[in-house]
Structure 1
Amino acid sequence: MAYELPQPFTGRHLIDGAWVTGRETFDRVSPSHGTVVSTSSKGGPEETDAAIKAARRAFDAGIWSRISGRERAAVLLRVADLIEANVDRIALQETLESGKPISQSKGEVAGAADLWRYAAALARTSQGDSHNTLGSDMLGVVVKDPIGVVSVITPWNFPFWILSQKLPFALAAGCTVVVKPSEMTPSSTVMMGELLMQAGLPAGVCNIVLGYGDPVGSLKSTHPDVDMVTFTGSTAVGKLITKAASDTLKKVALELGGKNPQVIFPDADLENAADAVTFGVYFNVGQCCNSSSRIIVHEDIAEDFVARVVALSKKVKFGDPLDPTTQVGAIVTPEHNARIDGYVQEAVAAGARLELGGAYLDVEGLGDQFYQPTVISSVSADMAVAREEVFGPVLSVLTFRTLDDAIALTNDSEYGLSAGVWSESVHTCLEFARRAQAGTVWTNTWMDGYPELAFGGMKQSGTGREIGKYGFEEFLEVKSVVMRVGRDSRAPWVTPRAE
């Protein structure tokens, strides 16, 4: 390596406006460089309870929940500016902990600033409804109040971006929060805490507890002082959180797994479609809930289209995540790398055809915590590689004959996060978009997103929505206020008795 890695980052809890060093710590070893890149305080029940109670006190005191939207927006806008001033520092740490390419980390961190600015706009423009048709002596008003204390639990694959899909919208609504990042990528969340303090966020409004799902995440899901849990991660853990939260009937919003198809019709722009498929399966090493890990290609063009994708896949640069030209970096853990390979070998043993890859990738000077770009054809819909979330750089190819076939294959999944369709026919695209069971449908593109557009899934891909107006309203409670105006003109319910 022609560069020197920085000293390991030291992460601490943020509780009630103070940085707290835990009695125990845990290390994160870089998946791409094999050295310790952060040492973080390890939270337990004591720190978690203290953080939740701090958030409860701050909410009930109204230091954030009852101030004006203008004041909240001003803080969020300052955070956005600070994010942009610290992109390089935050992105470097994220790459070291996650293994993703530095260019993608920089894009993720810089792009997050726009989420904060959009949330700031929502803080000032949130409104309810009024009803003046209830009679001459009645007025009804529907208001939207912050839901209260929110537990935010984020994953390792996009730690800064996904935090920014949740935190600014919760804050814009007037909520107070307790954040637990993944133990594999904790540091960018701590850096966010530093920016929040610089921006003037009052103590106790955002608290951060580092550590593991048990006990930190578990307590955040069951504590009676928590009003809502928002979680991004695996479907299996999402189900556990839903069960844990049920005893207190707190609200739960979940953004979970996906097995997202791109459907390619013969009249599509095959050059652009092949490029989008290649991007969709290898972006973030395939460790992405929106990864297009299966494609459904018309029989007439399947052979040609697969050849196009294989040719492009051979040109994608896998390697050192700190190299600005690298497009695909390391797998997050050795255990996950082995899991990816297991899916591939099982599919080949069941009769699928390996078009490319299918083995570990040894990057000179960085070891073998990488996986080759992999394309598998002759995949049947019942194979695990076609049904389960591999979460790696592995593309499964299925074929179809008719539009109905394509839609049936698309919807033959327990997931429903996103889907894509490629065709020059607007009629084909619109019919597919209307019938596909997915929270987002892309037509002739893949993975374009904007702060204005809600994101979330159907079926076992989750509940609720993030970002956009709909994501913002997840953090609000609707309250009806019914007011009588003037003298009561009704006949009395209780008639006075004559003396």
Structure 2
Amino acid sequence: MNDLSIRASVGFEPAKEVFAGQHLIDGAWVDSASGATFERVSPSHGVVVSRCAEGGEAEANAAIVAARTAFDSGVWSRISGKERAAVLLKVADLIEANVERITLQEVLESGKPIAQARGEVSGAADHWRYAASLARGVHGDSHDTLGADMVAMVLKQPIGVVSIITPWNFPFWILSQKLPYALAAGCTCVVKPSEMTPASTVMLGELLIEAGLPAGVCNIVLGYGDPVGSVMSTHKDVDMVSFTGSTRVGKLISKVAADTLKKVALELGGKNAQVIFPDADLDEAADAVVFGTYFNVGQCCNGSSRIIVHKDIAEDFVARVVALSRDVRFGDPMDEATQVGAIVTAAHNAQIHKHVQAAQAAGAKLALGGGPLVVDGLSDQFYQPTVLIDVSADMGAAQDEIFGPVLSVMTFDSLEEAVALANGTDYGLSAGVWSSNMHTCLEFSRRAEAGTVWTNTWMDGYPEVTFGGAKQSGQGREIGRYGFEEFFEVKSVVMRVGEKSRARWVTKET
């Protein structure tokens, strides 16, 4: 691996003051009743970077009560869209004013490169601004052809209290794909960030208060899925759960939420494929494949962990991907030039390696990488850029979400075979197709079983364009108008407006 561009430590020393996080419940910052706390050790630097209150059932219940009380009072749910939008716009401005502070803590907790984290934090403000615009445009339907004395309306009303449970890989960004849209709809919320990346959510809570969000409208409980996430998924006063994370946990949430028939929106795992046809711009496609594989160290549900390449160009294309992979800058996340940082935990690093070893045992071959990566002066939680070739559709490398910097290469002869291979997993989050023939791109896009299909690009996203998965990649949608609609209940109101009374059902005998 000596030919890799490895960025070692740039002399950064984590702050001596460890970030301290508390729960935000009914507008107040509080410690846990038990006094329990938990720590997060930087995956890159091996030192404690945050120490937070560890919530339990008491804190989760208190937060839900606060959200329920705030919703029922109408302090947020019944004010005008204009008033809600004004607060959301203030939050967007405050995010931009605090980008560097939030970015630093997110880098320390997650291990992602500082340039990437900065882009995510600053870019998240756009979600808040777009959600603010949606808050002012909520409308239903009216029916004025039901007769001279009747009129009916279909209203859209906020669904109520929403539990928002977010993951560690994009803690600030994914929260901003959920929370502003829920607030724009008039909902109140309880948020639980991952125990591995709690700080940026706490910082956002500070900005919400500064922006003037009423007490109890957004509550934050720190801690672990059991018990905090469990209470948030089962409590009778929660009307909806919005969860991003693994398919395994998403299925569990669906099961436990069924007892109260609360709405569940899930954004789960993926085993996303990019399909490359011979007439594609191969240089552009190779660069996009490398980006999709190593972005966020491959710890991305939307990452392109599979490529399906036409046999006529497979050898040439893989060579391009391997050559580019050697130039990707792995190393210290605090270095502005670093493109790929650390794996989130040592256990996950080991799990990635087990997947790679299993693929080799099943007959796949290594074109690059295949083991842990040593970066002088940093922790041992780095993994080499890895490319597996000779992967068949039945291998774990083609089916399982490895969630690391590992690319599996498969080949095809025809469009029919490419579609079958792309759809041949339990997942259906994203897919991509590369061809200069728009007919090919459209045919594949229509037939791909995925919530998002990119053609001649990868992972471009906008607040206006909705996101979500098919099959076991989830249910419901986030962002865009479709994501906004998830936070409403639809109510029909039928009104008699004429003076004529309706025909009586019970009549007296004469």
TM-score, normalised to structure 1, is: 0.99
Question: What residue in structure 2 maps to residue 323 of structure 1?
Answer: 335
Q: Give, in whole Å, the separation in 1 of the partners of 2:341 and 2:464.
A: 30
Q: What is the DSSP-based 3-state SS (H/G/I as helix, E as strand, rest coil) of the residue aligned with 2:380?
A: strand
* Superposition deviation, residue 495 in structure 1: 2.1
* Superposition deviation, residue 391 in structure 1: 0.3
Report percent identity of matched pairs.
Answer: 75
Q: What is the DSSP-based 3-state SS (H/G/I as helix, E as strand, rest coil) of the residue aligned with 1:125?
A: coil
After superposition, give the CA deviation of every residue in 1:357-402 in whole Å (9 maximum; x if it has no partner).
Answer: 0010010100321000000100011110110100000000000000
Structure 1 position 186 matched with structure 2 position 195: no
Q: What is the DSSP-based 3-state SS (H/G/I as helix, E as strand, rest coil) of the residue aligned with 1:84?
A: helix
Q: What is the DSSP-based 3-state SS (H/G/I as helix, E as strand, rest coil) of the residue aligned with 2:296?
A: helix
* Superposition deviation, residue 136 in structure 1: 1.5
* Superposition deviation, residue 489 in structure 1: 5.1
The within-5 A match list for 1:118-129 is: 118-129=130-141
Structure 1 position 13 matched with structure 2 position 31: no
Q: Give, in whole Å, the separation in 1 of the partners of 2:216 and 2:98.
A: 23
Question: What residue in structure 1 maps to residue 12 of structure 2?
Answer: 3
The within-5 A match list for 1:92-491 is: 92-488=104-500, 490-491=502-503
* Superposition deviation, residue 497 in structure 1: 3.4
Question: What residue in structure 1 maps to residue 91 of structure 2?
Answer: 79
Aligned residues: 498
> Contact 2:43–2:379 (CA<8 Å) still a contact in 1?
no
Write the letter of the residue equivalent to 1:296.
I
Q: What is the DSSP-based 3-state SS (H/G/I as helix, E as strand, rest coil) of the residue aligned with 1:143?
A: strand
Q: CA RMSD in A?
A: 0.7
> Contact 2:103–2:114 (CA<8 Å) still a contact in 1?
yes
Q: What is the DSSP-based 3-state SS (H/G/I as helix, E as strand, rest coil) of the residue aligned with 1:281?
A: helix
Q: What is the DSSP-based 3-state SS (H/G/I as helix, E as strand, rest coil) of the residue aligned with 1:274?
A: helix
> Contact 2:157–2:488 (CA<8 Å) still a contact in 1?
yes
Residues 483-492 or 413-422, more deviating: 483-492
Q: Give, in whole Å, the separation in 2 of the partners of 1:385 and 1:297.
A: 16
* Superposition deviation, residue 449 in structure 1: 0.3
> Contact 2:152–2:494 (CA<8 Å) still a contact in 1?
yes
Q: Give, in whole Å, the separation in 2 of the partners of 1:331 and 1:486.
A: 68
Question: What residue in structure 1 maps to residue 41 of structure 2?
Answer: 29
Question: What residue in structure 1 maps to residue 5 of structure 2?
Answer: none
Write the letter of the residue equivalent to 1:8.
V
Q: What is the DSSP-based 3-state SS (H/G/I as helix, E as strand, rest coil) of the residue aligned with 1:160?
A: helix
Q: Give, in whole Å, the separation in 2 of the partners of 1:81 and 1:437.
A: 38
After superposition, give the CA deviation of every residue in 1:329-379 in whole Å (9 maximum; x if it has no partner).
Answer: 000000000000001111111111100000100101003210000001000
Q: Give, in whole Å, the separation in 1 of the partners of 2:433 and 2:145.
A: 46
Write the letter of the residue equivalent to 2:179.
L
> Unpaired segments of 5 or more residues in structure 2?
1-8
Q: What is the DSSP-based 3-state SS (H/G/I as helix, E as strand, rest coil) of the residue aligned with 2:260?
A: coil
After superposition, give the CA deviation of every residue in 1:157-210 in whole Å (9 maximum; x if it has no partner).
Answer: 000000000000000000000000000000000000000000000000000000
> Contact 2:431–2:448 (CA<8 Å) still a contact in 1?
yes
Q: Give, in whole Å, the separation in 1 of the partners of 2:184 and 2:99.
A: 23
Q: Give, in whole Å, the separation in 1 of the partners of 2:357 and 2:508.
A: 86
Q: Give, in whole Å, the separation in 2 of the partners of 1:293 and 1:194.
A: 37
Write the letter of the residue equivalent to 2:60.
T
* Superposition deviation, residue 21 in structure 1: 1.2
Write the letter of the residue equivalent to 1:21.
D
After superposition, give the CA deviation of every residue in 1:221-267 in whole Å (9 maximum; x if it has no partner).
Answer: 00011000000000000000001101000000000000000000000
* Superposition deviation, residue 488 in structure 1: 2.7
Q: Give, in whole Å, the separation in 2 of the partners of 1:489 and 1:71.
A: 40
Question: What residue in structure 1 maps to residue 100 of structure 2?
Answer: 88
After superposition, give the CA deviation of every residue in 1:469-491 in whole Å (9 maximum; x if it has no partner).
Answer: 01001000000000111123543
* Superposition deviation, residue 419 in structure 1: 0.1
Q: Give, in whole Å, the separation in 2 of the partners of 1:490 and 1:204.
A: 45
Q: Give, in whole Å, the separation in 2 of the partners of 1:369 and 1:86.
A: 29
Write the letter of the residue equivalent to 1:288.
C
Q: Give, in whole Å, the separation in 1 of the partners of 2:501 and 2:38.
A: 69
Write the letter of the residue equivalent to 1:206.
C
Write the letter of the residue equivalent to 1:124.
R
* Superposition deviation, residue 116 in structure 1: 0.3
* Superposition deviation, residue 496 in structure 1: 3.1
Question: What residue in structure 1 maps to residue 4 of structure 2?
Answer: none
TM-score, normalised to structure 2, is: 0.97
Q: Give, in whole Å, the separation in 1 of the partners of 2:190 and 2:255.
A: 20
Q: Give, in whole Å, the separation in 1 of the partners of 2:273 and 2:500.
A: 61
Q: What is the DSSP-based 3-state SS (H/G/I as helix, E as strand, rest coil) of the residue aligned with 2:29?
A: strand
Q: What is the DSSP-based 3-state SS (H/G/I as helix, E as strand, rest coil) of the residue aligned with 1:329?
A: coil
Q: Give, in whole Å, the separation in 1 of the partners of 2:374 and 2:165.
A: 33
> Contact 2:148–2:498 (CA<8 Å) still a contact in 1?
no
Write the letter of the residue equivalent to 1:417.
L
* Superposition deviation, residue 150 in structure 1: 0.3
* Superposition deviation, residue 137 in structure 1: 1.3
